[in-house]
Amino acid sequence: MKIAFLHTADVHKATFDTLLTGSGVEVAHVVRADLLARAQAKGVSAVRDETAAILHGLSDADAVVCTCSTLGEIAANMSAPHILRIDRPAFEAAVAFGSRILLVICLKSTQDASEALLAGCGADLQTDTLICADAWPYFVAGDLARFSHTIAADVRKAVSETPYDAVILAQASMKDAASLLADISVPVLSTPKMAVDAALALVRARATR
């Protein structure tokens, strides 16, 4: 059994290796930071064909996960049931808590794809998008603690002003902010663990066929 990941930052390898420790599943990683850089500069269409080719090339795995939210729509549009976008499981879980959702992102380049996915997860949703633009430079600099604390502070302010039913930390890089928000009354969902659970379910289902 094998799960392959396409990342746009090297730091994500450790996250998913940890989540899959003891699972008995082989893990493969491809890291292509250049795809995100070009998508930010020129739009997702500029990397659509290359990203799809990479994901297709990983199809010797039982499940393939695209961990970049900006590129997620490319994975979703491939219509291959073993190729997953990282954010869908968390987004689908969030709408079960209610219709008022706070979508939290750090990159403008992922906004359209994330908002479109959330809109497709439920009817009559009332959603707001919080862009933590000030946090992203800390991630780029490798200061993950300050990155997470900046996101958490922005979320705390937002939920103190509006009664949300759930908060989604839409990018994989934001996962550590969830633990900093464990004391608030609103459910805070991050994407990596739910994506791994979905991938494992797919792998195990295919293994029993």
Q: Write down all domains in the chain, each with its CATH number in brackets.
A: 2-85+193-207 (3.40.50), 88-191 (3.40.50.1860)
Please state, in angstroms and rounded to a whole number, the distance separating the CA atoms of residues 82 and 84: 6
Closest CA to 78 of 67, 87, 89, 66: 66
pLDDT band at 209 (very low <50, low <70, confident <90, very high): low
Going from the C-alpha of 23 to that of each of 18, 19, 29, 164, the distances in angstroms are 10, 9, 16, 35
Q: What is the mean pLDDT of residues 109-116?
A: 90
Render pLDDT for 185-200 as a digit per residue (tens, 0 to 9).
Answer: 999 999 999 999 999 9
pLDDT at 59: 87
Whether the predicted pLDDT of 156 surpasses 90: yes
Please state, in angstroms and rounded to a whole number, the distance separating the CA atoms of residues 110 and 16: 21
Render pLDDT for 5-60 as a digit per residue (tens, 0 to 9).
Answer: 999 999 999 999 999 999 999 999 999 999 999 999 999 999 999 999 999 999 89
Closest CA to 16 of 139, 172, 207, 176: 172
Q: What is the mean pLDDT of residues 88-114?
A: 93
- Residues whose CB falls within 8 Å of the CB of residue 33, separated by 6 or more in sequence, listed in order: 8, 9, 10
Burial 162-182 (b: 16+ CB within 10 A, else e): eebbbbbbbbbbbbbbbebbe
Please state, in angstroms and rounded to a whole number, the distance separating the CA atoms of residues 27 and 29: 7
Q: What is the mean pLDDT of residues 162-175?
A: 95
pLDDT at 81: 86
pLDDT band at 206 (very low <50, low <70, confident <90, very high): confident
Mean of per-residue pLDDT scores for the chain:
93
